[in-house]
Amino acid sequence: MLKLYFAPRTRSVRIRWLLEELGIPHELERVEFRPQPTPFAQATPFGKFPVLVDGDVVMAESGAILEYVLEVHGNGRLAPAVGSPQRGEFLQWVHFAEGTAFPPLGVLIWHGIYRADAARIPCAESFFTSLLSVESIYYCPNLEGAFEEVHRILRSGGKAHFLINYYKENIYAHPWAKYIDIPVHLLSTEDYLRILASAGFSATSHRRIVDSTPLPEDWTPSPWFRTRQEQAKFQAEGALLLTAEK
Ligand SMILES: N[C@@H](CCC(=O)N[C@@H](CS)C(=O)NCC(=O)O)C(=O)O
């Protein structure tokens, strides 16, 4: 008998609906959905919902499960036959759900519900060996908390790298503040090094990453750089790369 690992309000509802609709007998393995500190940590064989077990076949991915169930147990119901002209549109909408419709929703969920959580990363202690943050740390409302959190999730000996374009020494980025919609920190290299040290990091260092890309012939002004010279000077000053070791 088929076994479906199921939790309400997850994508496993899709497969439950399909099995009910086709009248396929199945065992419902109810598993509690819990926010986990690490990915793939739900109590199912794949660490996510849904998972379907059909004898030796154990599979995840709701769209793939749907196609499999229809092929193996559907007896031609609910889907156009393989190779038929209607099959193309059917497959298009099956894959549209996860391939196109969900990714922007996922981004909204992560950036909406979990926003401002750099000081509370949903991840186990000592989980990563390295971390790279590009152009984001100066947005963190609680910078001290964010650095402490990065320290917590790194293994001993692990390294964190922070690349920052908006910092005190590069005066050509300062006008950006009025175009960035949220509060930002304008800190110096010394400020950052001090906060990293107080978050528990030992070996901290810094260097500049200069951008030697020539400006295009058809360069035009923007709110970020009003003159060509300003952008050239910004690039020559470079981004600040901070490295810290746990
Ligand atoms: N693309 C996969 C997504 C699977 C997935 O992310 N499922 C969610 C529930 S809807 C889940 O298990 N999340 C729990 C977690 O990531 O810890 C599918 O369509 O099956």
CATH code of the domain covering residue 223: 3.40.50.150
Do 136 and 229 reside in the same domain of the chain? yes
Atom of ligand 1 nearest to the CA of 61: 20
Residues in the chain: 246
Q: What six digits make up the tokens of 16?
A: 């439950």
Do 9 and 81 reside in the same domain of the chain? yes
**Residue 121 forms part of a structural domain:** no
Q: What six digits make up the tokens of 191?
A: 């400020």
Nearest CA to ligand 1 atom 20: 61
Do 90 and 58 reside in the same domain of the chain? yes
**Residue 134 forms part of a structural domain:** yes
10 lines ligand 1 (CB under 6 A): yes
Q: Which residues pair with 209 in a beta bridge?
A: 239
pLDDT tens, residue order, the chain (246 aa):
999 999 999 999 999 999 999 999 999 999 999 877 667 889 999 999 999 999 999 999 999 999 999 999 999 999 999 999 999 999 999 999 999 999 999 888 777 765 556 777 878 899 999 999 999 999 888 999 999 999 999 999 999 999 999 999 999 999 999 888 888 999 999 999 999 999 999 999 999 999 999 999 999 999 899 999 999 999 999 999 999 999
Does the predicted TM-score (pTM) go above 0.75? no
CATH at residue 69: 3.40.30.10
Do 150 and 108 reside in the same domain of the chain? no
**Residue 138 forms part of a structural domain:** yes
Do 145 and 213 reside in the same domain of the chain? yes
The C-alpha angle 111, 63, 82, rounded to 5 degrees, equals: 150
Do 146 and 105 reside in the same domain of the chain? no
**Residue 196 forms part of a structural domain:** yes
- Domain end, chosen from 112, 136, 155, is at 112
The C-alpha angle 127, 133, 137, rounded to 5 degrees, equals: 115
Total count of domains within the chain: 2
**Residue 219 forms part of a structural domain:** yes
Do 148 and 90 reside in the same domain of the chain? no
Do 57 and 100 reside in the same domain of the chain? yes
**Residue 123 forms part of a structural domain:** no
**Residue 154 forms part of a structural domain:** yes
For residue 5, give the amino acid letter: Y
Do 23 and 64 reside in the same domain of the chain? yes
- Domain of 30, in residue numbers: 2-112
7 lines ligand 1 (CB under 6 A): no
Find the 11 Cα to ligand 1 centroid distance in Å: 7
- Domain end, chosen from 49, 78, 112, is at 112
Q: Which of 4, 6, 11, 16 to mutate to test the pocket of ligand 1 (most atoms within 8 A of CB)?
A: 11
**Residue 32 forms part of a structural domain:** yes
Quick one: pLDDT at residue 234?
97
Quick one: pLDDT at residue 121?
81
